[in-house]
Amino acid sequence: ASLIRLEDYRPTDYLIDTVALTFRLHPTDTRIVSRLSVRPNPAGQTGAPLVLDGDDLTLVSISLDDAPLAQDAYTVSPSRLVITAPPQRPFTLTLETAVNPTANTKLMGLYRSSGVYCTQCEADGFRRITYFLDRPDVLSVYTARIEADADTPLLLGNGNLVEAGARADGGHFAVWHDPFPKPGYLFAIVGGDLDKVEDVFITASGREVKVAVYVEKGKSERARYALDALQRSMRWDEDVFGREYDLDVFNIVAVSDFNMGAMENKGLNIFNDKYVLASEDTATDGDYANIEAIIAHEYFHNWTGNRITCRDWFQLCLKEGLTVFRDQEFSSDARSRAVKRIADVRVLRASQFPEDAGPLAHPVRPRAYKEINNFYTATVYEKGAELIRVLKTLIGAQSFRRGMDLYFDRHDGTAATIEEFIACFAEASGQDLAAFSRWYEQAGTPRVTARGIYDAGNRTYTLTLTQETPPTPGQPDKHPMVIPVALGLVGADGREIALKTADGAPHDGIVVLDTAEKTITFSQVDSSPTPSLLREFSAPVILDIDLSDDDLLRLFAYDTDPFNQWQSAQTVATRIIRRAVDDIRAGRTPQTPDNLVHALAEFLDARATRDPAFAAQVLALPGESDIAREIGSDIDPDAIHVARKTIRAGLGRALADKLAALYNDLAVTARYRPDAAQAGQRALRNAVLDLLTAGDPTRGGALAQAQFDSADNMTDRIVALATLTHVAGLACENALAAFAARYADNPLVLDKWFSLQAMIAEPETLDRVKALLDHPAFSLSNPNRTRALVGSFAMANPTQFARPDGAGFAFVADIIIRLDPANPQLASRLATAFRTWKTLEPGRRAHAEAALERIAAATPLSPDVSDIVGRMLD
């Protein structure tokens, strides 16, 4: 595949104003007639050929202004249709194509999932349906007529239903019209036989919208939570962003084979059923929270993505970063803001920081790509969302809202760019945002170093902040970024010190570090303070601060910012586990230090039951991948695993009595609700069980067994099962078997079962995973199954994926090679599990390299996998 560059962007030579599609649905021979009203683009090149994109298409017929087009007037291949000399006036092009939805294993374009016809057109799947100018800056008004047999009673499209009826052949049809111009990637149809839950939503201006969620027969009760989340999202977008829904219907359809989480097709969102279906017996509290967030995310795209779309795929973060920010805010308002922030930062660090530090690093707005499907990344999504947060912090909430209003006003109905977006905020705030926009251009995570000096004589505290961004592929030299550092000073007595600048004026607590180094002096500081920096994680950076463990533990106890309370405990725990890693590699036995034990004991007494969701985050401690990231090179995953386990065991033993008491006190007696309060209580109780088990596997195992036997909800059941897998032995095998029997006909729940087994940190796991490939419920052609089993092994079992003998890498490489011809996107995503391979110690690194070389040499190799593996080996 060739390299596509941002700087090469130019408008199309033709525009397509309307698209009228007729689908005759058939399992293996679906026919699509596409009538395009085409005209030369005044901004394009006069007289140019009309080059339409295709992918795996068969052209059945072609006519221009309803006359068959002469053979010498065009050339066609499965991937291209070129009209050599099209009229230089408006004309109608009519194409008929034939596709085979059943054979479509790539899950792009029109395909069948458990008998349901559905489509996925982002980023470039529309060209697998018909030849088209398949790029986001070609906006057209679509009408879709769908014809099907009686066995496919439900026919859905974008926009509003305008006509439906019977056909003479016993089949039927439906016509959907979407009045809002959109690019092809937002097109969708669905055909199937599904159940639904529905309601009516009244918009702020009093319009009625029929909202519905469609799921497999017999599962509609499990769609109620999703429907409720949708209506709450619709209300929230009115309240917080002033955005009202714009069609008469909003439909969501859940399908069981889906490469991504969900897709925001206009008025017809199509979802991976994992993010729709939930009941207390089948879904965890975390599943409910994900469903809420993703339903909101896709709904919010209606304005940020659909009404205003992207000029080209380099601008992907324009819709994704912004929409992730919006869904994060929605969840923060619906749940605990502090806990949501902690969870989001955990995700950012676990998924984006390693990307930014390795061979796949790229700017939030990339400058070049070979395969766009490989750029639906944590950098574009999660770091993209952080940049919106940084922007809001820099200009303030009011200017931010004014800027958003201006953006919606000015760019509605267009395909926009990051420059146009930022210009709205520059105008709304009166600030020059040129330096801020560097965040979109420069890859890599900036490292901010903070050093403070207290001058008792002058009662001043002087803070020096410096920044540095490491080189990333193609970007050896970096400029300083604009980094808002939210901060406070905590006095020796634990109280917050009022911030005053050197001349005595009040300071707002945000220092904008926009040069390589910046020094600020605070006055009227009566005693040596402890600085609390980067409150609420005010920028996506790595902070290096020379505070002692005791200083950090003081912040843990007294900081007014809950994020930094949590961060301080995490930092101390990270240091302790890192020292333990050094001990283990040097043959010494690590010790769990008393200071952390005491701090946690006090915390549990004072706060645990008052704020359980927060306490659960504290007790979770940094994960193995967090520690690996901190160490950064020459990594031995086994040493990290043992170190973390040893420290946690020490904590579990030292805190055993408190933990046992909490475990009893925290039992939820009320009827199950997935809300934040109850979920927080369960989360803490389960974190307590985990730590208790680390300290005393026998006692913890017994509690876990009892919890497994008596649980009345999936959250408690799956945590108990996970705990048993850590204790191992017969109890574990029996519980696994009981779980599998109970959920034998629920594939989504069995995914949890596959995933748990794939994550066991034991050498036997590889054989177990290989054996599970043959389990009747497993299928490599279903993305959820593959991610649950192979994905969990590769992404969430660091010791076994990176086995010292290389067998873990070799296994995953084999699967990637097997998967690639059928579903390149899924294979390519799995391959990113290798993205940190260069940070491993030499022995494991050599095995990883050999596995990657083997994938790279496989033939045929998709552009998707070839691009990812190529960049990793570069």
CB of 319 to Zn ion, least distance (A): 6
Task: Measure Cα distances from 352 to 337, 341, 540 in Å.
Answer: 21, 15, 10
Question: Residues 287-326 vs Zn ion: string with x where CB under 5 A?
Answer: ---------------------------------x--x---
Question: Which does residue 122 touch among Zn ion, ligand DPP, none (CB within 5 to 8 A, set by kind)?
Answer: ligand DPP
Question: Which does residue 13 touch among ligand DPP, Zn ion, none (CB within 5 to 8 A, set by kind)?
Answer: none
CB of 339 to ligand DPP, least distance (A): 23
Q: Name residue, tokens 């146009």.
A: 420
Binding site for ligand DPP (CB under 6 A): 122, 260-264, 297-298, 301, 320
**CB closer to ligand DPP out of 382 and 549:** 382
Instruction: Please give, one letter per residue, the 3-state secondary structure of 775-816.
Output: CCCCCCCCHHHHHHHHHHHHHHCHHHHCCCCCHHHHHHHHHH
Active site residue 221: no
Who contacts 675 (Cβ-Cβ below 8 Å, separation ≥6)?
A: none
CB of 323 to Zn ion, least distance (A): 5
DSSP code for 498: P
Question: Which does residue 597 touch among ligand DPP, Zn ion, none (CB within 5 to 8 A, set by kind)?
Answer: none
CB of 362 to ligand DPP, least distance (A): 17
Q: What are phi and psi of 96, to 5 degrees?
A: -120, 130
Q: Which residue is nearest to ligand DPP (CB)?
A: 260
CB of 292 to ligand DPP, least distance (A): 15
Task: Measure Cα distances from 787 to 430, 778, 827 in Å.
Answer: 47, 11, 10
How many residues bind to Zn ion according to rule CB under 5 A?
2
| Burial class (CB within 10 angstroms; exposed 0-12, middle 13-18, buried 19+) of 657 | exposed
User: In this structure, what token pair is assigned to residue 642?
Assistant: 């043992």
3-state secondary structure of 437: helix
Q: H-helix or E-strand containing 162?
A: strand 160-166
Using alpha carbons, select from 379, 366, 365, 364 the residue that is nearest to residue 3: 366
CB of 120 to ligand DPP, least distance (A): 9
CB of 803 to ligand DPP, least distance (A): 32
**CB closer to ligand DPP out of 241 and 556:** 241
Q: Which residues of 360-393 are buried (b: 16+ CB within 10 A; e: fewer)?
A: bbbbbbbbebbbbbbbbbbbbbbbbbbbbbbbbb
Q: Does residue 860 contact residue 821 with C-beta atoms inside 8 Å?
A: yes
Using alpha carbons, select from 714, 536, 688 the residue that is nearest to residue 615: 688
* Region label for 432, one of left (φ > 0), alpha (ψ between -120 and 50) or beta (otherwise): beta
Who contacts 665 (Cβ-Cβ below 8 Å, separation ≥6)?
A: 609
CB of 108 to Zn ion, least distance (A): 17
**CB closer to Zn ion out of 287 and 320:** 320
DSSP code for 725: H
Question: Which does residue 383 touch among ligand DPP, Zn ion, none (CB within 5 to 8 A, set by kind)?
Answer: none
Question: Residues 636-655 vs Zn ion: string with x where CB under 5 A?
Answer: --------------------
Question: Which does residue 356 touch among Zn ion, ligand DPP, none (CB within 5 to 8 A, set by kind)?
Answer: none
Handedness of CA 827, 829, 833, 834 (dihedral sign): positive
In 102-153, the DSSP E strands lie at 109-113, 116-120, 140-148
- Rounded to whole angstroms, the Cα distance separating 377 from 232 reads 27
3-state secondary structure of 450: strand
**CB closer to Zn ion out of 315 and 323:** 323
What's at 514, amino acid-wise?
D
**CB closer to ligand DPP out of 219 and 301:** 301
CB of 263 to ligand DPP, least distance (A): 5
**CB closer to ligand DPP out of 296 and 635:** 296
Who contacts 449 (Cβ-Cβ below 8 Å, separation ≥6)?
A: 465, 466, 467, 468, 544, 545
**CB closer to ligand DPP out of 316 and 391:** 316
Using alpha carbons, select from 727, 780, 781 the residue that is nearest to residue 756: 727
User: In this structure, what token pair is assigned to residue 742?
Assistant: 């109970």
- Rounded to whole angstroms, the Cα distance separating 699 from 627 reads 28
CB of 830 to Zn ion, least distance (A): 21
**CB closer to ligand DPP out of 24 and 301:** 301
CB of 213 to ligand DPP, least distance (A): 17
3-state secondary structure of 680: helix
Q: Which residues of 853-867 are buried (b: 16+ CB within 10 A; e: fewer)?
A: ebbbebeebbbbbbb
Beta-strand relationship, 309-310 and 415-416: parallel
**CB closer to ligand DPP out of 260 and 426:** 260
Choose, from 216, 280, 292, 298, the residue flagged as catalytic: 298
**CB closer to Zn ion out of 320 and 867:** 320
Question: Which does residue 263 touch among ligand DPP, Zn ion, none (CB within 5 to 8 A, set by kind)?
Answer: ligand DPP
CB of 305 to ligand DPP, least distance (A): 7
**CB closer to ligand DPP out of 323 and 437:** 323
Question: Which does residue 260 touch among Zn ion, ligand DPP, none (CB within 5 to 8 A, set by kind)?
Answer: ligand DPP
Task: Measure Cα distances from 187 to 13, 107, 344 in Å.
Answer: 22, 15, 31
- Rounded to whole angstroms, the Cα distance separating 11 from 137 reads 8
> Where do the H-state alpha helices sit in 586-696?
594-607, 612-620, 624-631, 637-654, 656-665, 676-695
CB of 266 to ligand DPP, least distance (A): 12
Task: Measure Cα distances from 319 to 292, 324, 703 in Å.
Answer: 19, 9, 46
**CB closer to ligand DPP out of 260 and 510:** 260
**CB closer to Zn ion out of 317 and 489:** 317
3-state secondary structure of 287: helix
Q: Which residues are catalytic?
A: 298
Site of interaction with Zn ion (CB under 5 A): 320, 323
